[in-house]
Amino acid sequence: MKLWQKTIQVNDKIEKFTVGRDREMDIYLAKYDVLGSIAHIRMLQEVGLLEKEELEILLAELKNIYQLADKGDFVIEEGVEDVHSQVELMLTRKLGDVGKKIHSGRSRNDQVLVDLKLFTRAEIEKIVETVSELFNVLIEQSNKYKNVLMPGYTHLQVAMPSSFGLWFGAYAESLADDLQLLLSAWKITNRNPLGSAAGYGSSFPLKRQMTTDLLGFDTMNYNVVYAQMGRGKMERVVATALASVAATISKLAFDACMFTSQNFGFVKLPDEFTTGSSIMPHKKNPDVFELTRSKCNKIQSIPQQITLMTNNLPSGYFRDLQLVKEVFIPAFEELRDCLEMTAMMMARIEVNTEILNDPKYDYIFSVEEVNRLVLSGVPFRDAYKQVGLAIENGEFTPDKNIQHTHEGSIGNLCNDEIVAYKENIEKEFGFEAIRDAIRKLVE
């Protein structure tokens, strides 16, 4: 079934090529397509394009389809082009001609726009929850190990004292900034394109504010041409925010791989979290972190892929946009998997509390000695030279009792402030209002 087909049968190879993976991707959008249809037909009844009795039977059947999709039992049948066609087919089978009325005042163009936005809203909420879970693990570990020192590095050379409190906490604060970027992407996502039809509006007296309110959007995409131009842009913006989260996790995974190696030995994974070798019986490999690093690096490529698919398109709709779904939709689940795995690993990771007993790390305390001399009245450049000559002559003896007190330092992690920063960002999403709007639509 094709909503646009009249009498001519499309060549089978052409059909296969143009449909591509659309039916597979549209399964993810099924319940959101139904939500959009519920809001749309309530508006159609309001403006006189549906009778009240027609609305009631359509709503009842659409809610049945929604439950089917919500349970994962929705199927796009062989020969049916997309989710929009499948929903309309199910309605017309059950209700006859009244099922054909739901498409008045809209196009598949604005249907897929609203489907993608509703899907993306729901997925961003899941990502925020999963980021928050990892954030909480990192803050907990930061507080637990705040007094355990470790070497800090510049240029991969031993540099200055750091701590596990700083290390865990740094990634927590990075995730908080990633949430800030996700919030910006959320605000662009949470605008209603429904009613833009094929990108040029409709001669029907649509009430776009009504569907905006019913679906819980903050506002609408006002200009109908821009609403259509927003396809691809919204996905690119959101993918950029996802890539920011992925970049944080990828860096953490790299650290973890390096720090678990015998040459470092800073942390250890439980044996059941590692894999072995087919030839070397001693191996305990951090494969989860390695796969996480690679998956997150792949996710970081998605904004560029979307850009290359869309950056030379003029205004209006083009079939090129169909392919964006294939790289965009799976990204959420893949990133959530990485976040969940990382949270599990970080919660169980074992910290080496005796790292700095190894004399090769003695020189990380050289700056501490320079600062001690400066505090006693020696000019900084003279103190620097004095300590440097002691190192060259093998006469440097480290004082490992350090006092860092400024905000964000070893002795003053500011974890409470980081938690407050993150929680204030989370509040701005307003997920509860969205959940209330959806509940009212489907009850």
353 and 331 in one domain?
A: yes
User: Is 62 part of a structural domain of the chain?
Assistant: yes
Say how far apart CA 210 and CA 437 lie, in whole Å. 12
User: Is 153 part of a structural domain of the chain?
Assistant: no
Q: What is the average per-residue pLDDT within 282-306?
A: 93
Say how far apart CA 122 and CA 108 lie, in whole Å. 21
What CATH number has the domain bearing residue 78? 1.10.275.10
Whole-number average pLDDT of the chain: 93
141 and 49 in one domain?
A: no
User: Is 217 part of a structural domain of the chain?
Assistant: no
What CATH number has the domain bearing residue 232? 1.20.200.10
Q: What are the catalytic residues?
A: 155, 277
**Residue 321: CB partners within 8 Å, gap ≥ 6?**
231, 232, 309, 310, 313
Hey, what are 364's tokens?
A: 């990380």
Q: Which tens digits make up the pLDDT trace of 360-399? A: 999 999 999 999 999 999 999 999 999 999 999 999 999 9
What is the span of the domain harbouring residue 392? 358-409
**Residue 158: CB partners within 8 Å, gap ≥ 6?**
151, 360, 361, 363, 364
What is the residue type of 440? Answer: K
Question: Considering only 13-17, 161-165, 309-313, which range has the smallest mean pLDDT?
Answer: 13-17
Strands 350-351, 267-268: pairing is antiparallel
pTM tops 0.85: yes
Of 243, 255, 189, nearest to 217 by C-alpha is 189
User: Is 216 part of a structural domain of the chain?
Assistant: no
User: Is 3 part of a structural domain of the chain?
Assistant: no
The residue from 104, 128, 155 where one domain ends is: 104
172 and 64 in one domain?
A: no
Say how far apart CA 15 and CA 1 lie, in whole Å. 12
User: Is 375 part of a structural domain of the chain?
Assistant: yes
The number of domains in the chain is: 3
At residue 192, the 3 state secondary structure works out as: strand
183 and 44 in one domain?
A: no
> Is pLDDT above 80 for 84?
yes
Contact 194, 116 (CB under 8 A): no
> Is pLDDT above 50 for 213?
yes
398 and 431 in one domain?
A: no
pLDDT at 4: 43
170 and 130 in one domain?
A: yes
344 and 268 in one domain?
A: yes
Cα–chain-centroid distance for residue 386? 50
185 and 302 in one domain?
A: yes
The confidence band for 273, taking pLDDT boundaries of 50, 70 and 90, is confident
User: Is 215 part of a structural domain of the chain?
Assistant: no
Contact 61, 94 (CB under 8 A): yes
417 and 291 in one domain?
A: yes
317 and 267 in one domain?
A: yes
234 and 95 in one domain?
A: no
What share of the chain has pLDDT > 70, as a percent? 97
Which position has the higher pLDDT, 318 or 360?
A: 360
Q: Which tens digits make up the pLDDT trace of 218-227? A: 999 999 999 9
pLDDT at 271: 84
User: Is 370 part of a structural domain of the chain?
Assistant: yes
> Is pLDDT above 80 for 22?
no
> Is pLDDT above 80 for 10?
no
291 and 259 in one domain?
A: yes
pLDDT at 276: 80
Say how far apart CA 197 and CA 203 lie, in whole Å. 10
Q: Which tens digits make up the pLDDT trace of 109-130? A: 999 999 999 999 999 999 999 9
The confidence band for 6, taking pLDDT boundaries of 50, 70 and 90, is low
Say how far apart CA 83 and CA 200 lie, in whole Å. 23
Contact 82, 23 (CB under 8 A): yes
